[in-house]
Homo-oligomer: A and B are copies of this chain.
Amino acid sequence: MHNGIFCCVRSGMSMKKYFSIVFVFLFTLNVSAQESDSIMLRKIYTEILLNGKAYEWLEHLSNKIGGRVSGSKEAEQAVEYVTGIMKQTGADTVWLQEVMVPHWVRGLHEVAKILKSNQAVKPLQITALGGSVATSAEGVTASVIEVRSFDELKKLGADKVKGKIVFYNHVFDQTKINTFEAYGEAVRYRWYGASEASRYGAVASIVRSMSSSLDDYPHTGAQGYNDSLQKIPTCAISTMGAEELSNTLKEDPKLTVYLKFNCSMQDSVKSYNVIGELRGKSKPEEILTIGGHLDAWETGKGANDDGAGVVQTLELMRSLKSLGIRPARTIRAVIFMNEENGLRGGRVYASEAIRKNEKHIAAIESDCGSFTPYGFGLEMPEEKKVIIRNWAPLFRPYLIWNFEIDESGADISPLINQAKVPGIGLIVDSQRYFDYHHAASDTFDKINKRELLLGAAAMASLSYLLSTYGL
């Protein structure tokens, strides 16, 4: 095949034959490119699987720093730590991009109890939702109305809801194969639950944790008040707690629940996106953004959400640099701040990119956990998807096969929506993610080193191809 051109120069030929030969030549070029790309991907995977540092960095981020909600001391420490690592990776330039972030502080006391009609008391595991107001100092005690959906709530109306605690007991749909779909259905009760309950005069709301596991860890997460309605305290309850409360309500509908938590919203705080670049050799003005987010709920240690994405992004920089790869286009690693409760990092990044008229070819995010990768989500026009899908054979040896999902990541969504940049998400095995997500169980012991590194290698490989060929 590599001798195709030499043959055609020696022989007389028709126009048709000429085009055939040109086709063969182009095909040959293409095969050669795929061969050298294939060799490069093997180098990237080998470098990361043998010498990757992501696991050790994540151990530090999870165990030495821990949960790091926006505006906290831990978030500040994490910015400092990650800046140091970014420099260690050998990035050509490293800088901080200022971001003003909300500073919501969970109180020390989070208590909930079922108070039965017969005076018996049962404790419940709850945690305030991000952004919730506190209960009053004496707490809230009220009877409970359980619903499975907003429709049910609406049908009950103010008559049945006023003065009560609304308990959203939507069960995570275990029949979904991709757990993100089940999460998508459940999370609206977290986000809109307090407002909708308040609409009908409820005094507080409790949401069943959107978790695939039946255990006693409540899962927090952001919620969004409707400014035109009274802001009521709102919290998540563990899945076991939800079962307990629901069962107890069946036998004792007159029970009350006592809730007390003392969280508070404080003044906004100056924080940062941490950015590092490997400057492009031939087209430095064309930028590929890669990232994850640094902030993490302080219920857990932010190992999977999204310490994994942070260290995979750093690992990508380290591995390309240590292989001596100087990308054709600029690869820019962005460790975003404030994905969890504001998306301020992603917003500032996009608006600065637009203000500076930067040319972004694509953005990749890892924010689905540290598990075995199996694909890339493509949030972009069809003709660009085709380009990436043509690379699928290069990824098959690494068990990366799915290029059909059309989602990417939250931090890069402002860039995708406002600057029409193609977005890409690392797709990983989703079975375990919502066991730990936003809960005290999101800890470093859940991380498998090989799985984490395989995710970094997949991202580094796609980054290499995008930086070489553009999109």
Contact = CB atoms under 8 A, between A and B. Distances in A.
Nearest to A397: B177
A429 interface: yes
A45 interface: yes
Q: Specify how many copies of this chain sit in the oligomer.
A: 2
Interface in A375-405: 397-399, 401-402
A398 B177 contact: yes
Contacts of A136: none
Given A212-B450, A372-B372, A175 B431 contact: no
A40 to B, nearest CB: 15
A87 B132 CA distance: 52
B45 A450 contact: no
A49 B212 CA distance: 11
Contact of A432 (B45, B46, B174, B448): B448
A454 B212 CA distance: 14
A435 interface: yes
A7 interface: no
Nearest to A400: B177
Contacts of A448: 431-432, 435
B398 A401 contact: no
Contact of A454 (B177, B372, B454): B177
Most buried by B among A397, A429, A454: A429
Nearest to A450: B431
Interface in A190-220: 212-213
Given A431-B450, A435-B448, A454-B431, A175 B212 contact: no
Interface residues of A, number: 27
A449 to B, nearest CB: 8
Interface string A449-464: 1110010000000000
A92 to B, nearest CB: 28
A212 B372 CA distance: 15
Given A374-B374, A431-B448, A435-B448, A175 B454 contact: no
Contacts of A450: 174, 179, 212, 431-432
A226 B377 CA distance: 53
Given A177-B397, A454-B177, A372 B49 contact: no
A389 to B, nearest CB: 15
Nearest to A398: B177
A137 interface: no
A431 B372 contact: yes
Contact of A177 (B175, B178, B399, B431): B399
Most buried by B among A45, A212, A399: A399
Interface in A19-57: 45-46, 49-50
Interface in A419-471: 429, 431-432, 435, 448-451, 454
Nearest to A51: B174
A164 to B, nearest CB: 31
A451 B430 CA distance: 10
B451 A432 contact: yes
A49 B398 CA distance: 28
Given A177-B454, A401-B401, 7 more contacts: A45-B177, A49-B175, A50-B174, A50-B175, A177-B398, A401-B402, A431-B448
Name the 5 nearest CB pairs between A and B, nearest first. Answer: A431-B450, A49-B174, A46-B175, A431-B451, A372-B429
